[in-house]
Amino acid sequence: MLASLISMGAAKAVPPSQQSSYELMSAENKAMQDDPSLNPAMFWVGDGESLWQQKVGPQSKSCSACHGDAKKSMRGVATQYPKVIKGKLQTLEGQINQCRVGAQSVPALAYESKDLLALTAFIAFQSKGMPITVSESSANAPFMKKGRQTFYERMGQLNLSCAQCHEDRAGLKLGGSPIPQGHPNAYPIYRLEWQTLGSVQRRLRNCMSGVRAQQFEYGSPEMAQLELFLMWRARGLPLESPGVRP
């Protein structure tokens, strides 16, 4: 049963026409995302820009000490994550923390902390408008396989898979709200419901609690694998980061 679901899914993994959930938003919310003077997430981008220059740790090293001008060095970077680096599948947040621990000798930032969201938003913002370029390779194939499996696997007390809503029923409604295709092409997002910025992992945990499933931990390998599959599924869609969602 599971095997048939997976093989069926593999064929369907690319929706006939990809649609960003931006298209499902009201004109007001679209304007909020598009206009930097209305988009509250731009505060985090500003904070991230300051953090990029901030010298931290025993060597008093800033992000820019290695990476220079983010406008050049970080352009397009967010479109490639999650990425296999030295055999480990790394998300953008994971890589920021890897740099902090490895190169700056300071403790990793907590998931959903203001600083980590700010740096992620600042880096993702450098790729705004560029298409997602995650592709399947021999290096990421095993992770992709696990991510795909999670996507088509029923979970939780409601016994639902991601695909049952975001593939089979995308475009229909759940209660009064439209069901999006579930592409992670605008993260981190300022979600009006949250009243703050949040990562794609926070959003995924949302759905998991919605189907009454055990949530994957922040920064866990399972999260990274699912994120990888979702980014591959959304390949070609332009990044909207930082997005606004209702």
Partner 1 sequence: MSKTSRTSITMPATAKKDSIIEIRAIAQHDMESGFRYTEGGKLIPRDIIRTFTCTYNNVEVFKADFYSGIGANPLIIFTTIAVESGTLEFRWAGDDGYEAVNQSHITVS
Q: Of 37 and 177, which has the nearer Cβ to partner 1? A: 37
CB-side neighbour CA atoms (13 Å) of 77: 21
Residue numbers at the binding site for partner 1 (CB under 8 A):
37-38, 40, 42-43, 46-47, 192, 195-196
Alpha-helical segments (H) within the chain: 2-12, 27-34, 42-53, 63-67, 70-73, 92-102, 114-125, 141-152, 162-166, 200-210, 221-233
Q: How far is the CB of 37 from partner 1 (least distance, A)?
A: 4
Q: Is 207 a catalytic residue?
A: yes
Sign of CA dihedral 136, 141, 147, 151: positive
Nearer of residues 2 and 38 to partner 1, judged by Cβ:
38
Catalytic residue among 63, 99, 162, 207: 207
Residue 41 vs 74, nearer CB to partner 1:
41
State the minimum distance, in angstroms, from the CB of residue 190 to partner 1: 8
CB 184 to partner 1: min, Å: 23
Q: At what angle do helices 114-125 and 92-102 cross, to 10 degrees?
A: 110
Strand partners, 88: 85
Tokens of 47: 């904070």
Q: Which is nearer to partner 1, 7 or 209 (CB)?
A: 209
Least distance in angstroms from the C-beta of 26 to partner 1? 16
Instruction: Report whether 237 contacts 132 (CB < 8 A).
Output: yes
Three-state SS at 51: helix
Nearer to partner 1, 36 or 236 (CB): 36
- For the CB of residue 246, give the shortest distance to partner 1 in the complex, in Å: 12
Q: Please state, in angstroms and rounded to a whole number, the distance separating the CA atoms of residues 88 and 141.
A: 12
Strands 189-191 and 243-245: parallel
Enumerate the active-site residues.
207
